[in-house]
Amino acid sequence: MRHIAIIGSGPAGYYTAEAAQKQWGDDVQVDVFDKLPVPYGLIRTGVAPDHQSIKSVARRYEKTALTDNVRFVGNVAIGIDLSIAELQELYDAVVMATGAPNDRQLGLDGEGLGNVFGSADFVGWYNGHPEFAQLSPDLSGKNAVVIGMGNVALDVARILAKTEAEFAGSDIVAHALDALKNSGLAKITILGRRGPHQIMMTPKELGELGNLERASPRVDRNDLPEEADDAILEPGIRKSVAHLRSFAAIPEDMHAEKAVEVEFDFFANPTAIVGDGKVASVTVEETQIENGKAVGTGTTYSIPADVVVACIGYRTSPIPGIPFDERAGRFANDAGRILTGLYCVGWARRGPSGTIGTNRPDGYALVEKIAEDIESGALGRVGKAGREGFDALAKERDLDIVTFQDWKKIEEAEAAAARDGSPREKFVDIEAMIKAGH
């Protein structure tokens, strides 16, 4: 029997468990650990609450989770409740699938001012992540600035722009819905250092901004390159740029009909966040593109800002005992191998890029590497104590484990508490989750 511990129950964790099961059938036992009492990582706490069809991928992970040789071990934080060295004593292979939960910093003066957030915190707040449920952003001001030109920036801008009715069918948590429906926002500026051809936004998500009830997207046509130049773009980005062109063609009277404007400010590099205790404005330097890079022109201007959300990428949390690549912000690894018997996968391996689906080949490729290492003898003789050994240690430490069956009870309680039309009202407090599970 091979014993594998996977740390993290997000897409990368569950695709790896699925691949291990395909590889070894009944000859493997996989324990999938998570520090939260609930599974699925960013499917629950990252993917936007108004994108329920994307979240339905969790049904596939549930199939894996419900098989006899895979089990969910929730409410156990590796690096806190249990060390990596202890796990390695118990399992033949330990796989870090812990994602990249920390915001990359802007590195600007004023970043620590009130009402300035990183997207991990802000998205965690509206998605009910227990660590961020208490964030309480003040949305009473008129002006929001969202920094970044990727899909996370789009998610944040869209969530800020929607009406209460537009959240029908979503699982946005009650505290966020309350704050958003009372928001005073009239302008949301999306700031990007580079231009329309350099955006990282996918067409479907960008197109959604054009169909909002009370918000209208604004693009300055002078920021757009010649249309013929779009031919050099990769097809997905070309479609996204076509959306930007259609936004640039919206006539003024149509903008005037909407209460909220979502303005794309291209070639705009934030250089300082300004305020007294709380943010009041963002200072921006105009840029131009030289060899694909944004270079400052020296011309600066100021944008009023009552709330700022920086969506500029994520870093993995370092864990004692695991080599870390500081520059890249993820575990130091060679195609998923960190040290003998210690591996990583998903965002913890490659950084915060790609879609949910990108984690599938990642998980399958890693299991091939583990199989190679077992066959070559690199892991020594397999057949460590595995889950029996862990259960003994958990008892000794009095760990309050949440099983997959417990999670199903949490899920039922969340569904029962849902407001009309919503799939669930999430628990946002760890104690409440555990209580519902037990």
Ligand X SMILES: Cc1cc2nc3c(=O)[nH]c(=O)nc-3n(C[C@H](O)[C@H](O)[C@H](O)COP(=O)(O)OP(=O)(O)OC[C@H]3O[C@@H](n4cnc5c(N)ncnc54)[C@H](O)[C@@H]3O)c2cc1C
Chain residues binding ligand X by CB under 6 A are: 7-13, 33-36, 41-42, 46-47, 51, 54, 77-79, 97-99, 123, 152, 155, 317, 346-348, 354-356, 359
Q: Which is nearer to ligand X, 154 or 374 (CB)?
A: 154
**Cβ at position 80, least distance to ligand X in Å:** 7
Closest CA to 94 of 112, 78, 113: 78
Choice between 162 and 258, CB closer to ligand X: 162
> Rounded CA gap, 220 and 264, in Å?
8
H/E element, 180: helix 174-181
| Token duo for residue 194 | 């580079």
- Helix, strand and coil percent figures for the chain, each rounded to 5: 40, 25, 40
* Least separation in angstroms between CB 321 and ligand X: 12
Q: Which is nearer to ligand X, 229 or 429 (CB)?
A: 429
What's the min distance (Å) between Cβ of 45 and ligand X? 8
Amino acid at 337: R
CA distances to 30, 87, 389, 410 from 394, rounded to whole Å, are 16, 12, 9, 22
Measured from the CB of residue 211, what is the shortest distance to ligand X in angstroms?
A: 17
Token couple for 360: 């599938």
Q: How far is the CB of 152 from ligand X (least distance, A)?
A: 4
Q: Are strands 102-103 and 314-315 parallel, antiparallel or unpaired?
A: antiparallel
- Nearest approach in angstroms of CB 355 to ligand X is 3
Q: Which is nearer to ligand X, 118 or 195 (CB)?
A: 118
Tracing tokens 């996968």 back to the chain, one arrives at 345
Closer to ligand X by CB, 218 or 350: give it. Answer: 350
d(CA 358, CA 346): 8
Quick one: 61 or 267, whose CB is closer to ligand X? Answer: 61
- Rounded to whole angstroms, how far apart are CA atoms 43 and 18? 17
